[in-house]
A and B are shown apart, each in its own frame.
Chain A
Amino acid sequence: MSSGDAALQSSSSKASKKPTYSRFTQQELPACKPILTPELIMAAFIFLGITFIPIGLSHLSASDHVVELIDRYDEDCIPVDNSNSEAAYNKRIGYIQDVKTDKTCTRTLIVPKKMKHPIFVYYQLDDFYQNHRRYVKSRNDEQYRNPAADHKTAHCEPESMNNDNQPIVPCGLIAWSLFNDTYSFSVNGNSLPINKKGIAWESDKTHKFGSKVYPKNFQSRSLIGGAKLNESIPLNQQEDLLVWMRTAALPNFRKLYGRIETDLEANEMIKVVINNNYNTYTFKGKKKLVISTTTWIGGKNDFLGKVYITVGGICLFIAVAFISVYLIRPRPLGDPAYLSWNLDPASN
C-alpha cells in the first residue's frame, strides 16, 4: 500500500502543476499592521504639538537675535521726485543711463544693536525676475568652463557676438546684466573693509567656471547691461559674477555683496557711499542694501517659527478636541457589533 501510494504520488507530482507553496506566493509574508488607535493618534498629535512649539519658539528667538539693517536707496539716490508720472519716469531713466554724471550717493545707517562679525552685506532687488524663462536660459555653461569653447554661444542670443562677430565671454543676458552698484563703508571716518572673497559657492569656483577663461568682448556693444569685468582676471575669480550667475529663485531676492569682519557696536553711525549705477528704474524695481548678522537659522526669518507654532498649536488643539470626542462617544475598536450588516437587522 505504501509503495503504491508513493508511486501514485511520484506520478502525480511529476505532472502536477500545483503551485509550490511559499509565503510570498500565498501573500502571507509577515507584516506589521499598524492601526491608528485613538490613543496612538492622540499621542502623536500631542507629541507633534509639544515638539513643534519649542522648535518654533527657538526659531523665533534665533530670528530675534539677528540684527538686520535694510535701506532702500533707489529712490533717494536719484535727484528726481518719486512720483509716478511719465515725466519723472523718463527723467529717472535719463539720469541712470547717462554715463557722464557722477552717481555717488551717501547714506547713513545707525546700528540698532551690537552686531557681531561676520556681518553679511547683501544687495536686494525687488521685482527683478531673474527667473524669467528666457533670462534663465540665456547662458552657456560650457563656454564659462572650458577655455577652448569661447565660440560656443548657443542660447546666449542676443548677447552672443559683438558687432565684429567675435564671441562675447561670458555670453548671455545673465552675465550682461551683472549688478554694478558698489558700496564702501566707513565708521567714524575710518573706512570699514569689506571682504569680497569667498562670497561665491566653492563649487562654482572650482567646477563650474574655468580658471583659464578670461572675459572677452564683454559689454562692448552699444547697449550696456551692467558691470564690466576685468579682462585679466579669470571668470572663477570674479566672485560678484559668480554670485550673480546663480540666478535667484524668486523675483525678490538678495545677493551676497561681501562680509564685514569686525563687530559693530550699537548706535554706531555707518556711512555708506553708494555708486548708484544699476538701472532698476525702467522696470520700476527696488534696490536695497541689507546688512545682517546670521544665526543657526540663517538670516532674519519669523515665518518659520510662526508656522511651527501654528502647526504645533493646531496639533494640540486637535488632540484636545479628539480626546473630548473620544471621552464623550467612545467606540470599542474591532467590535464586530459595529459592522454595518450587524447594525442593520433588516439587511439580514
Chain B
Amino acid sequence: IVLRGCELRNTKSAIGVAVYTGKETKAMLNNSEIIYLSIFLVTLCTVVCISHGVWLIKHKDELDLIQFYRKKDYSGSEVENYEYYGWGMEIFFVFLMSVIVFQVMIPISLYISMELVRVGQAYFMIQDDRMFDEATNSRFQCRALNINEDLGQIKYVFSDKTGTLTENKMEFQCASIGGVDYDNGKASSEDGGIEYSSAQVDGVTLRPKMSVKVDIELLNLSKTKDTDEGKHIRDFFLALATCNTIVPLTIESSDPAVKLIEYQGESPDEQALVYAAASYGFMLIERTSGHIVVDIQGERQRFNVLGMHEFDSDRKRMSVILGFPDNTVKLYVKGADTSMFNVLNNSSNTNNNIIKPTQAHLHSYSSKGLRTLVIAARELTLSEFQHWQSSYESANNALMGRSNLLRKIAVNIENNLGLLGASGIEDKLQEGVPEAIESLRMAGIKVWVLTGDKQETAVSIGYSSKLLTNEMTRIVINNNSKDSCKRSLEDALGVCKKVKNGVSGAVNSQLALIIDGSSLVYVLDTELEEQLFELASKCDVVLCCRVAPLQKAGIVALIKKRTDDMTLAIGDGANDVSMIQRADVGIGISGQEGRQAVMASDFAMGQFRFLVPLLLVHGHWNYQRMSYMILYNFYRNAVFVLILFWYVLFTGFTLTTAITDWSSMLYSIIYTSLPTIVVGILDKDLSRATLLKHPQLYGAGQRNESYNGKLFWVTIFDTLWQSIAVFFVPLVAYWASNVDGSSLGDLWTIAVVVLVNLHLAMDLFRWYWITHAAIWGSIIATFVCVMVIDALPFLPGYCKIFVQYYRPNDIQIAREAEKFEDSRVSRQVQIEMTRFRDPLTQLV
C-alpha cells in the first residue's frame, strides 16, 4: 500500500487502486451517527413537505384567491397561474427548500472544527516537554492528524521488543567463574581496563569499539597465570573470545595510530561477550574458517579452528574445537543453562563444587533479568579427537541428513564437560519501561510483546520489564504441526478455565501466553485463529517470539478482526512496519534502526515510556475533549434546526425563517464555533498528575464512556426539549401580540446562542481566561452581529429590538428562557456528578 504522502520516483506509469475510501474511511466507520442525523434531517424535511402538501390539498379551493399562487385577473378572460406547479411539484420544491434551510443539521462545520481541534491537540502533544527525548534530541511527532482521540481508547498494545522495550544494546554485566561471582557492579573502573584492552599490531593500536566496565579484581586475577583460579578465568575468557561466530572488522578511527575493532555477528549476546572478553584483554583480532587470532593481554596467539557445532534450538548450545599452539585440543561449549547442566561432568569433584554456586548465581542473574549463558570446556584426548574428526568429516560430506548427523556428533562430544562459569548479559531496557508497562497494565491495556528473538530472550525480557511475574501461570505453545498446535491450544484453554474458575479465591489468576512463530504459522489464517483469540483474550500477557514481520501484522489483524477495540502497535525497525500499518494507531520509535518505522507510523517518539503520558494523559484528554465536542456540536446544530423547524409549523409549512439567513449562516461560524474549538483544545477533566496516579481512569475511554449511543440519544433528547423550551416560551408569550417576525427571530437567535454557550459553559471542567474570552466573547459577538445584520438596510428587518417599549418583555423572555435552561442543565450535571442516580432520575 502506498500511503498518503508517499512519492513514487523513477516510475513511468503506475496503476493504482484507491483503498480505504468512501465507506471505509475512518470518518464513516466511526460516525454512524451521521446516518442518524441524515435520517433526522430527512424526517424533518419530509414532515414539512407532507404537511405542506396536506395544507395545499385542504385549501385547494382557496388557492385561487391566494395571490401568490394564482395570477388571476378577473377582468381578463385568461387565467394564468403564477408560480404554482401543482401540489406534487410544490411538495417537491418545499422538500428541497427545507433541505437547504435545515442543512445546518449535518455538521459540516463539525469536521472543520474537529480538524482545528486536532491540530491544536497535536500542537500540545508535540510541545509536551515530558515527551522529549534528550538522548536522540527528538520531539514527539504527529504524523497523522485524524486519530488523536483514538489514543484514549487503546485496549491492546503490540510492542516490538528490541529497540522498543530495550535499547538494543547488550552489555556484559557479570560473570560467575569457577563458582565465584564477579559482579563488576561493585568495583567498576573503566580506566583500569582500557590500558589492557588494546593491542599493538604493526605499530597500530587496536581497540575494541565499545569498552565494557571491568571488574578490577577479576582483571587482576585474570593476569595471574599460575594459580588454578587464574587458569580458570583465562579459560573462561578464551572461551568467550573464541566460542562464537563473530567476525572482527577493523575500522579507521580519527587517530591514525588507533584502529577500532568492531565485532559483527548475528547475535548481539555474542557481540557483548566478545567485547567483554576484549576488555579483559582477550581480544579477538582475526577469524577465518581455519584459525582464530586472539590477543591475550598483549600476547598474540593463534588457534586452529578444528570444528564448530553451530547453535541449534534443540541443543541450545554451540561448541567450538580449538587446536592450541601447544597441540592440545580443547572443546569449548556455550549454551543456555537448561541444556548445559545435563552435559556437565558430574563425577569430578571440582566440577561439583562449582556447579552449585554457579546455579545459585544463575538464578540470581536471571531474576535480575539478565540473559545468562553457561560456558564449559573439556580437553580432548587424541583418540577422542580423532574419533570425532573422522565422524565430523564424514558427516560434513554427507549428502543426506547432514544437519542431523552433525547434531548427533555434537551431542556425542558435548559431554563430560568441566564447568567454567556463566555470564550475565544485560539486554538493557529503556529507561522507565517496567514502570510504563505497569502503568499500562493498570490502565487495563493489554500489552503484547511480539519479537523476533528466541523464546528464552523474550521471556527474560518479559521478566525484567515486569511484563511477566513469577506468580503468573505460563502457557507455552511451541509446535511444529497443525495437529499438535490444535491440541496444545485446547489444553491451554483447559488450563485457562481451570485457573480462572478454580482459583477464584487464590491470589494468582493471571495467565501469560507464550507462543512462538512456528506455531503461529499453523494458527494464523486457519480455523485455529478463533481458539487462539479466545485464549489470548483470557491471558493477561501474551509473548510471541520468533515471529516474522508479517506474522506481527497477522496477530494485530487477529485482534482487529474480532473486536472493535482499538489497537496500538509500537516498534522501531523495518520489521515492525507491517504491524504499525495494520494497527489502528501506529507508533514509531525514532531509535537506532533507521526511519522506516517512523515513516510508516502515525506518531513517532523517542522512548517507549512516553507511551504512558501519550495514552494516559494526552489520549485521555483528547478522547474526552473530542467526544464532548462531537456531542456538543450535534446538540448545538440540532437545537438551532429544531427552532427553525418549530417555526415552520406556524407559517403554513412554507419554510419562512424567523431567524435571518445571515444568522443561520453565522450561527456555526461566529456565534458558537469558537468556544467549541477552545474547549476541544484546552479543556481538561483531570490534571496530568491525577491521570498518572490512577491509570485506571484510562478505562473511561476503553469503555466508550464519553461517547456512545446512549449519550448520543440523551443529547438528542436534551436538544429536543431545550429547543422546545427556547422556542415555545417566547412563542406563547408573544401569541397574538404585535411582535414582528424579525424581532422575534432575533430574540430566538440570541436566546439559542446564549443557551448553547451557557450549556457549554456549564459542562466545562476548567475555566481559563481563554475559555472565558471565547464564551462571553461569542455571546457579545452575537449581539453585535445581530444588530449589524438588522441595521444594514439591505438585510431584512431593520429593528432596534431593545429600544422599543417592548424592551422589558424581550429581555425578560430571553432571560427566562436561559434561566429555564440553566436550571435544567445544572440539574443534569448534578445528577451525573454525585451519582445519586436512582432517586433523582425519577424525580427529574
Contact = CB atoms under 8 A, between A and B. Distances in A.
Contacts of A208: 793, 798
Interface string B54-94: 00000000100101110111110000001100000000000
Given A41-B830, A325-B839, A282 B652 contact: no
B126 A318 contact: no
Interface string A186-222: 0000000000000001011001100000000000011
Contacts of B829: 36
B194 to A, nearest CB: 20
A297 B73 contact: no
Nearest to B835: A331
Contacts of A311: 816, 819-820, 823
B655 interface: yes
B586 to A, nearest CB: 22
A52 B823 CA distance: 11
Nearest to B739: A249
B686 to A, nearest CB: 10
A223 B73 contact: yes
B62 A129 contact: no
B656 interface: yes
Nearest to B651: A131
Interface stretch (B240-248, B411-419, B760-768): B760-768
A157 B81 CA distance: 12
A256 B839 CA distance: 52
- Give the most central of B128, B696, B799, B819: most A CB within 10 Å: B819
Given A131-B650, A254-B738, A307-B820, A15 B793 contact: no
A133 interface: yes
A322 B834 CA distance: 11
A135 interface: yes
Contacts of B833: 35-36
Given A132-B651, A158-B71, A33 B137 contact: no
B84 to A, nearest CB: 10
B737 A253 contact: yes
A31 interface: yes
Contacts of A52: 819
Interface in A275-333: 282-283, 294, 296-299, 301, 303-304, 307-308, 311, 314-315, 318, 321-322, 325-326, 329, 331
A265 B682 CA distance: 65
B745 interface: yes
Given A33-B767, A44-B826, A158 B82 contact: yes
A129 B656 CA distance: 11
A173 B68 contact: yes
A18 B124 CA distance: 13
Contact of B127 (A19, A35, A44, A48): A19
A249 B798 contact: no
Contacts of A124: 736
Contacts of A204: 798
B68 A135 contact: yes
Contacts of B835: 331
A249 B694 CA distance: 56
Contacts of B826: 36, 41, 44-45
Contacts of B137: 12, 15-18
A299 B737 contact: yes
Given A131-B650, A304-B816, A341 B834 contact: no
Given A248-B740, A311-B823, A331-B834, A159 B67 contact: yes
Interface in B826-843: 826-827, 829-830, 833-836, 839-840, 843
Contacts of A48: 819, 822-823
Interface stretch (B29-37, B564-572, B806-814): B806-814
Interface residues of B, number: 88
Nearest to A290: B736
Interface stretch (B222-230, B333-341, B458-466, B727-735): B727-735
A31 B799 contact: no
B800 interface: yes
Interface stretch (A22-30, A74-82, A104-112, A232-240): A22-30
Contacts of B822: 48
Nearest to B136: A17
Contacts of B83: 134, 157
A255 interface: yes
A271 interface: no
Contacts of A132: 68, 651-652, 654, 656
A133 B75 CA distance: 27
A222 B822 CA distance: 56
B656 A133 contact: yes
A164 to B, nearest CB: 13
Given A33-B767, A132-B652, A318-B843, A26 B127 contact: yes
A33 B766 CA distance: 5
A303 B732 contact: yes
B62 A222 contact: no
A340 to B, nearest CB: 8
A301 B733 contact: yes
A147 interface: no
B129 interface: yes
B798 A223 contact: no
Contacts of A182: none
Contact of A34 (B767, B805, B839): B767
Contacts of A94: none
A32 B793 contact: no
B739 to A, nearest CB: 5
A299 B808 CA distance: 11
Nearest to A173: B67
A41 B834 CA distance: 11
Nearest to A62: B808
A21 to B, nearest CB: 6
B731 A282 contact: no
B682 A321 contact: no
B741 A247 contact: yes
B819 A129 contact: no
Nearest to A208: B798
B745 A207 contact: no
A30 B766 CA distance: 9
30 contacts: A25-B124, A25-B129, A26-B127, A31-B767, A31-B768, A36-B830, A36-B833, A45-B827, A52-B819, A122-B738, A131-B741, A132-B651, A132-B656, A134-B654, A141-B793, A157-B82, A158-B82, A159-B67, A203-B799, A246-B741, A249-B658, A250-B735, A251-B652, A252-B736, A256-B738, A282-B62, A298-B808, A311-B823, A325-B839, A340-B699
Give the 7 A-B residue pairs with the shortest CB-CB distance, closest first.
Answer: A133-B654, A25-B127, A249-B744, A134-B68, A31-B766, A246-B740, A222-B75
